[in-house]
Amino acid sequence: MFDSLSERLTTVLKRLRGKGALTEADVSAALREIRIALLEADVNYKVVKQLIEKIRVRAVGADVLESLTPGQQVVAIVRDELTETMGGQRASLSLDRRPSTILLAGLQGSGKTTSAAKLAAMLKKDGRKPVLVAADVHRPAAIDQLESLGRDLEVPVVSRLDPDPATLVRLAVDWAEKHLCDVIIVDTAGRLHLDEDMMNELEEIESVVTPDETLLVVDAMTGQEAVNAAAAFEERIGLTGVILSKADGDARGGAALSIQHVTGKPIVYIGTGERVDRLEPFHPGRMAERILGMGDVLTLIEQAEAQMDKSKAEELVQRIRKDRFTLQDFLDQLEEMKKLGPVSQILEKLPGAAKLAGRASDADDEEMKRTLAILRSMTVEERLHASIIGGSRKKRIARGSGTTVREVNRVLSRFEEAKRALKLMGGRRGKGRFPADLLGAS
């Protein structure tokens, strides 16, 4: 999401930063390009108009134009106004009741069922005891999907207790109270388009549970359609927030920049992949910086801390210091990195790497899969003692991994390069923070 917009805005603002002095004409020319880029990203035209005017008012002031670094100040203004347009502050869920209820609404295909499971996984990781409710009684496949996801997560799913959704939800609340669950996540029915039956059903469910949070799940790839749907749901049932799903797809970003302004309701989470751990809290300021090519290192660090095994990192640090880095360590670290998501998602969170993220493709992830397959095809002895891997062993590893000897040689060569680099950095451990801090060890 935002790849094209980010590239356009980064180019425009880079030209401004390169000027020693700015005139009002320079600012106006840049704002024209920013306006076109935002409209092409499918941002609501009213949002664009208001955003551009706010930037203009601040950017043409004497404090900016007469400063020593006017270009940098304009970039900061654009960042601030983008942040404000997307809500300003991070919005969190209010789940103080026991049990609390989260009602998920949205059109069919928006990603409600998957988002329900992702929420359950996140809450369970935070020490909560969630229960999922399959209230989409019109689609057996949706019930089956939620039950399957619940089994994988070891989260209970209440379903098939009654053909009436409101009655089912009421029974689910009783079940949750009896089994001491503290968060009830209700997956409701969707339709291909907004209709009266759908809204009536949601209103009946709301009257039964009085949800603490009513979250609308919208598909980021639908752009302004997502914004229009959000406005309709807000008018009819009232929302407390939005989950923007499929943000890892070919989305232009217009929905993310428009929903808060149009509905007055914040984006609480964004879905960045199909896996149940691919749900990120939405930070407007961080997203604004990501759009402007400044990266999002804080989110990357948080993901690494949540996903990576600290004890393994500490053990690896000691092995590097003693020059005992093996192919097994290499495999372990690649598997830990894989938990952070696709290569492109990692790159887009690094400052200045937006273009690299745009160029990263499925091929990069396929390369990672091949490397892992090669390492996993080795015996434990081979991973611990790489020097024993000769020609016949390479052929066996290639056959076992579905690759070629040439690819096996490439992996071994990369391992040796990594080993040399880590040995060099490990030798400088008294002069800097590497490697313990960089690997997540304390």
Name the residue ranges covered by the structural domains of the chain.
3-85, 100-292, 301-426
Backbone angles phi, psi at 242, to 5 degrees: -135, 140
Are 78 and 292 spatial neighbours (Cβ–Cβ below 8 Å)? yes
What is the distance between the alpha carbons of residues 347 and 252, in angstroms, rounded to a whole number? 18
- Give the pLDDT score at 428: 47
What is the distance between the alpha carbons of residues 401 and 421, in angstroms, rounded to a whole number? 27
* Entry pTM: 0.69
Domain 301-426: assigned CATH number = 1.10.260.30
Are 256 and 220 spatial neighbours (Cβ–Cβ below 8 Å)? yes
What is the distance between the alpha carbons of residues 387 and 309, in angstroms, rounded to a whole number? 28
DSSP alpha helix (H) spans, 41-69: 45-59, 62-65
Among candidates 98, 109, 162, which has minimal Cα distance to 131?
98
Read off the pLDDT of each residue in 203-213 and give the average, rounded to a whole number: 90
Indicate the SS3 state at residue 258.
helix
Of all residues in the chain, the percent with pLDDT exceeding 90 is: 27
224-266 pLDDT per residue, tens: 788 888 888 888 888 999 998 888 766 667 778 888 888 888 9
Angle among Cα 27, 32, 35 to the nearest 5 degrees reads 120
Indicate the SS3 state at residue 188.
coil
What is the distance between the alpha carbons of residues 56 and 404, in angstroms, rounded to a whole number? 58
Of all residues in the chain, the percent with pLDDT exceeding 70 is: 79
Assess if CATH 1.20.120.140 describes domain 3-85. yes
* pLDDT tier, 441 (very low <50, low <70, confident <90, very high otherwise): very low
Domain 100-292: assigned CATH number = 3.40.50.300
